[in-house]
Amino acid sequence: MRLIFALSLLLAACSQGQPATVQSALAFAAGEAAPALAALQQPAEMQALIAADAPRLILRLPAHQRASTLLLAGERAGVKRWRSADNVQIYTREGLVIGTRGFGFDLMTTSTSTSPEAAAAITAALPGQLTRLHRLPDGSGALQLQGWICDILPRGSETIRLSEHRSAATLRVEERCHGPDGGFSNHYWLRGGKIVQSWQQISARSRLGQLQLLFLTETEEI
């Protein structure tokens, strides 16, 4: 309770000076299953990424029974930008989601959890704790700051299915987050110190539910 009270004070302090408006994002319109990219009418950037055989990310939204294939469109200072044919975009650092665009309810910015130390705490598969601060739309065009104290909990070995014919032995790590706006848990499956699959949530009250990510770029050598 002391941690959550302290977090509430931190959120109140950080909320000052927030931008008043944020552009509305495009509605997410992925199909029922991940489509074959070559079968879709692609913008120029996607055509170039397909031709270059860019690394892929499979995104699933179990709460909406939706799935889509995203391609690695760029990387700067350790942040990777993944995009789909309909311009849904996810930003990751070391496998952790630090931003989204195109869902209609997006994670605009993060603090603290974007640091390499946060990713290292999870990929080390050791008990620990970190703080998450997320800026999200509040429904009126403004940004709301939400925060959580998160416990890192190793959950042991687990075999996961990467595709119809491929499985892999991994270590599962749970990130259990508690805050004034409620709680949620993220799950990560690690192989060789890298996140190869994860279930991540951007807010305790997000209507997106969990984002299930399979990083094919990290599983090609399995």
38: number of Cβ within 10 Å: 8
Least confident of 49-53, 85-89, 106-110, 111-115: 111-115
| SS3 per-residue string spanning 144-196 | EEEEEEEEEEEEEEEEEECCCCCEEEEEEEEEEEECCCCCEEEEEEEECCEEE
pLDDT of residue 106: 84
Domain boundaries along the sequence of the chain: 23-124+134-147+188-217
pLDDT of residue 185: 93
Q: Looking at the predicted structure, is the pLDDT value of residue 52 above 90?
A: no
62: number of Cβ within 10 Å: 12
- Alpha helix segments (H runs only) across the chain: 2-14, 44-51, 116-123, 216-219
Top-confidence residue, 131 or 40: 131
Average pLDDT estimate for 168-189: 92
Residue count of the chain:
222
Q: Which CATH superfamily is domain 23-124+134-147+188-217 in?
A: YmcC-like (2.40.360.10)
Share of the chain above pLDDT 70, in %: 74
Confidence of residue 15 (pLDDT cuts 50, 70, 90): very low
Q: How far apart are CA 162 and CA 219, in angstroms?
A: 8
- pLDDT for 106-116, tens place per residue? 888 777 544 66
